[in-house]
Amino acid sequence: MGDKDKVTDTIVDEYGGCEINFNTSPVSFNFHPKFIRSPWQDVCICSKDGDLLFYSNGCEVLNKEDQQMENGDSLNPGEIHDGYCQSIGYIWAQNIFILPDSYDDSLFYLFHIDLVFNREPGAPFLVQSEDLYYTMVDMRYNNYHGKVIEKNSIILKDTSMLGDPMTAVKHANGMDWWIITPNRWTNSFNTILMDQTGPHFVGRQYIGMVPDGIRTGGQGKFSPDGSRFAWYHRRGGLFLYDFDRETGTLSHFQNIIIPPCDEAITGGCEFSPSGRFLYVNHDTSLFQLDMLAPDIQASLTHIADYDKFIDPLPTSFYYMERTPDKRIIMNVLNGTQWLHVIQEPDKKGLACRFEQHAIKLPTVNNFSLPHFPNYRLGALGDPLCDSLTVATQNPLPFHEINKYTIVPNPASEYFYIETPVWSYGTTTTVSVYDLFGHMMITTKEHGVNTSNLIDGIYIVSIRENNKPVQNSKLLINKS
């Protein structure tokens, strides 16, 4: 939020952006004077150190210095963009997120769905989804401030898309991604696969019950291990499915009845960090479900009702997100500075300690809570699937701006380490580890023979003068 045309702001007030820093203890909240409005759509991506790389309000892409990224204008072109972007940013809820490219740590894909006005005679709703796009960012440009190198590329054009929720989960191979979004008028889901060739539509699956297409979709989430998908719809209750990360298909549909609220606008859902419990809410109530219960419906536990707190507007319930410190935060339906918190979401019933208006932000938040897929999920069966770290000295985070490039990747018999600027006088050591942390290869050569490695995912660790500088994933595929 804020005035895009304003260059400086000397007035201390409650409007602007807010950064939540989970690298401090306790968690800290920092004012961020961003110059775009984003009360609805708000998406960002950081390095694993927590350093901001870029963000978007669905209208444009801004770099870490809060400047429009090169070629970062005019996302989601059309009437909605022209009518709303100058005033409040792009509208709608869970239909935008960012995925890192698993094969090139400098590339990021922004997935977004646009809206068009519904001009059918007697249309039951004002707007509908039309295009599912991707926009690609390469962070190697402009002194690592990034550049949009491909924009508004259509993956799927279909006005029957519900649009929200849209979310993603890692493929069983730990490298590719599945993206799904439901249909408005049928019991189907559109499935997109993002692999080393980029994102592409792979098909539509029909399963479960047909939602009420006149209503918005509500929030949808994958469990931390990707084995389940949950979607709350205010007129249909909770739709719960098993998910196969190998094939990208849903199965074992269950419709869990959630006590209704006739005046509810929407609602959310979120899994606990272990995946044991699922939390579901509409505007005025929060519930817990036990995913290990023989009868999940019977495990439904009422946690709390909205306590009518107002400051300056009602802080009724909206969407939820898991946090790196193993809590769940919930934002509100109006412009206030408060967040609700489930303090211990892996505990049963009221022991989960749901605290309303537990966190006061330095700025007003209105609807915008970024959606983050589980970036740390690894290959199916990988014991490191929720950490993506290597058992080496001084491990480094992934998806940072990397100096070195691995080519080819995937590799078969050989790969090379390339860098755009060579560091003369620097001793470079390249080590290859399996996902259990065992060193398989170490060399000071920049060409690495991998003929003795079996197919799978490995970690390439690069050190300069015995100082760790980069960890990257490597896929070995000899087939």
pLDDT digits (tens, 9 = 90+) for 229-267: 999 998 889 999 999 999 999 999 999 999 987 677 788
pLDDT above 50 (res 394): no
pLDDT at 286: 97
- The whole-angstrom separation of Cα 95 and Cα 229 is 16
pLDDT at 186: 93
pLDDT above 90 (res 463): no
Q: 200 falls in which pLDDT band (50, 70, 90)?
A: very high
pLDDT digits (tens, 9 = 90+) for 285-313: 999 999 999 999 999 999 999 999 999 89
- The whole-angstrom separation of Cα 17 and Cα 38 is 9
pLDDT digits (tens, 9 = 90+) for 142-193: 999 999 999 999 999 999 998 889 999 999 999 999 999 999 899 999 999 9
